[in-house]
Chain A
Amino acid sequence: MKVLVIEDNRQLADSICNFLQGEGYVYERAHDVKTAEDKLLMFSYDCILLDLMLPDGSGFDILDFIKNKQISSGLLIISARDALDDKINGLENGADDYLTKPFHLSELNARLKAIYRRKKLEGTDTIIFNDISLDTDRMEVLVNDTPLDVTRKEYDLLLYFLINKNRVLSRQAIATHLWGDYTDNLANFDFVYQHVKNLRKKISAARGADYIETVYGVGYKFNANKV
C-alpha cells in the first residue's frame, strides 16, 4: 500500500512514517498544501493521510483539489480539531474517515486498512492467518474451517489484532478502538480484559492456536511467530 502523509508537524509525521515503514507500506510525506498537490499530480496513492490545519492553507483545499482532479485514493483525515462541522464537512467532501488527535498508531493502521479494503477490494476481503480466517464482508470468523460464534466486539477485536500483528497493543488503544470517542469515564480496562479473555477462550475451544499474549503492565500482543 502506498500512502501520502500530509502533516505539518514533523515529529508526528516522523512517527507515522516510522510506523508505516514497520508495516511495510510505501510512503511519501508532504508538509504543506503546495507540496501535497504537486505530489498528488505526479504520483498515485492508495491512501492519503490528511491533516486539516496546514501552514499554507486548509486541508479542505486539498479535498477540493482531489475532487477536481478526480483522484481516487482513499482519504483519512487526521485533525486536532474535533469540531463537528469539520468532521461532517470532511466526510461530505470525499474523506473516507476522520481520526482526531491524539490517536494510537495501531488505530491509524486499522483505519487505513479498512479504507484500503473498502476502496480497493470493494469490501470483499478475507484475512487469513494460519488457522484463522476472517471474512470482512460477512463479518465471520473461521478457525480450522469451523465457524466461530463471536460477538461484534470480539470480531472487531480479532480483526484489530490481525491487522496489528506482532505489535504491543495497549489496553487503551484497544478500548478506544472498540468503543470510540465515548469511552470517557468507564473503567474500560476491565472490559478489554474480559473481551480478550472470551475471545481467547472461544479460539481455544475451536482448537485454534493461542496467538494472543498478555504483555504485562501494558496490554496484549498477537504473536504471529507462535507455533
Chain B
Amino acid sequence: MKLISKITFWYIVIIVLIMCLTMFTARNSIAKHIREHETQRLTAQNDSIGALLLAGVRDINTTGTPITITRITGNIPHSKTQVQETEHYNSHIGRNEHRLNVISWYQAGNDTYKVTSYNYVTRSYLYFSSLVWTLVWKLLLIAVAVVISGALLSRYLLSPFRHTMSAIKQFDITKKDKVRLMQTTTKEFKELNCFVSHMTDKAIEDYTAVKEFSENASHELQTPLAVLQSKLELLAETGIDEPQAKLIEEMQIAIEKLSRINRSLTLLTKLDNLEFKPSQIKFCRLAKEVVGMYNDRIELKQLKINSRMDSGIYLNIHQTLAEILLNNLISNAIRHNIEGGSIDLELTNSHLYISNTGLPPELPPDELFKRFRKSNQSAESTGLGLAIVKQICEVSNFEVSYDYHESWHHIRVQFNKEGDFKNEPRPDHGYPPLILEPA
C-alpha cells in the first residue's frame, strides 16, 4: 500500500469518528436548546397571563390558543412552574407528536389559577436524520478532497523521495557514477539524501579500491613470477646435471602454484566485489564444450562417463564464470576419481549433477567449500577450486551442495534459487541426497 493511501485512509477514519461524535453532541445540544427556549417562551407567555390575572382581569379569551386557564382550589404547589413533556397522537399525520407543557400557578387574591400552555416541538430523530445526511455529504466531500489533494500533494511533496528511490535503483557501482539527488527543503528527505549519497560514495570508493588492489596485486606479483620462471627456463638450458634439473623443476612447480593461487585469490576478490555482470548464455553448449576439453584425460584415466544433458538450457551467468565453474567441477571429478572409475553428469533446466567414484573425503563436507581446505591433500591442488565454485554459485544465484554416498561423490548445483526461471517448478522439499547407481 502506498504511503499516501495509508495516510488518506487513517485521515478519513479519524474524520469519520470525530464527525459521528460531534453529530451526537450536536443533536443533544440542539434538542436541549429547543426545549429550553420553548420552555422560556411558554413560561413568559404564562407569566403575561398571570400578570393579567393578578391585575384582576378575569375574562381572558383563550379560545383558539394552546392556553387554558383554570381556577383551582387548594394551595399553590411548591414550585410555581412545572414542565411536562407528553406524547400526543396526531391523526392527521399519523404519528405521535412531542408536546411541551408548561404549567404555572398564580395566586390572584383568594383565587388560585392554573395556567397551562403547550407547544409541539420537533422530535430530535426528525432532524437527526437530516444531520446524518449532512454528515454523509460532508464526509463524501472531505474524502474526495482528501484523496485528490493527497494525490496531488504527494506528487509534489514526495517527489524528492521518489527521485532518491529511483536514483538508488539505477545506481550501478561498476559505472562509478555518483548518485544525483534532488534538492529538497524537507528535513527527513534531506537526511535521507545525505545518508544515501554518503553510502553510495563510500561504496564506490571501496569498490574502486578493491578493484584496483586486485588488478595491481595481480600485476605486481605475476611480473616477478614471470621473471623467475623465464630465468629458470634459461638456466635449465645451460647444461646442468640431473639433481640440478630436479631442483629447477621443483622451483618451477612452486612458481606455478604461487601464480595459480594469486590468480584464484584475485578471482575470489573480484567475485566478492561483484565485478562480473551476468548475461544469458547457452549453458548446455558450454557444458558440452568443457567436457570435450577433458575427453583425452578421461580416456587416459580410463574413466567411464555417462552424461545426460538436456539441450536449450539458458542460464543467467557470466560466460567466463560458467566456464570456470564447469572446469573446476569436471577437473575435480577426474582428479578425485579412481583409475577405471566413472563420472555421471546430468544437466537439466533446474540443476547440474556431477557424480564421480572416489575415495571417501577426509574432510567434513561443509569444510570442502572453504578456502585452502584440501581433501586428500593433493599437492597439485591450490585448495581454492571449490571455494571458487561456491562463490560463483553465490553470485549467480545458484546453490551448490555436496554429498558422499557409497563411494560416490555427488555435487549438485541447483540453478535459479530465486525461481527467476519459470521453466521448471522448484521442488519445495529440500535437497534429497542424489543416489546414482554406477553404470
Contacts and interface: CB of A to CB of B under 8 A. Distances in A.
Do A and B make up one complex? yes
Interface of A: 9, 11-12, 15-16, 18-19, 22, 53, 80-84, 100-106, 151, 153, 167-168, 170-173, 179, 182, 184-188, 190-191, 194-195, 215-219
Nearest to A218: B245
Nearest to B383: A185
Interface stretch (B178-186, B189-197, B325-333, B409-417): B325-333
Interface of B: 215, 218-223, 225-231, 233-234, 236-237, 242-243, 245-246, 248-249, 252-253, 255-256, 259-260, 263, 293, 296-297, 300, 320, 323-324, 327-328, 331-332, 334-335, 378, 380-382, 385
A15 B382 CA distance: 28
Given A82-B218, A186-B334, A187-B378, A12 B230 contact: yes
A179 B293 contact: yes
Contacts of B253: 172
Given A101-B223, A102-B225, A215-B245, A185 B234 contact: no
7 contacts: A103-B226, A105-B230, A151-B296, A172-B249, A184-B260, A185-B381, A195-B296
Contacts of B234: 15, 18-19, 105
A186 B252 contact: no
B380 A83 contact: no
Contacts of A16: 230
Contacts of A168: 236-237, 245
Given A15-B234, A151-B296, A215-B245, A185 B219 contact: no
B219 A81 contact: yes
Contacts of A190: 300
A187 B380 contact: yes
Contacts of B378: 185, 187
B300 A103 contact: no
A185 to B, nearest CB: 4
A187 B336 CA distance: 10
A184 to B, nearest CB: 6
B236 A15 contact: no
A193 B335 CA distance: 16
Contact of A80 (B223, B242, B380): B223
B228 A102 contact: yes
Contacts of B242: 216-217
Nearest to A99: B226
Given A11-B227, A105-B234, A187-B380, A100 B246 contact: no
A170 B378 CA distance: 20
Contacts of A217: 242-243, 245-246, 249
Contacts of B296: 151, 153, 191, 195
Contact of B236 (A170, A171, A187): A170
Most buried by B among A18, A53, A83: A83
A185 B261 CA distance: 11
A9 B380 contact: no
B231 A167 contact: no
Contacts of A22: 237
Given A53-B219, A80-B218, A187-B378, A101 B226 contact: yes
Given A102-B228, A104-B229, A182-B293, A218 B246 contact: yes
Contact of A218 (B220, B225, B236, B331): B236
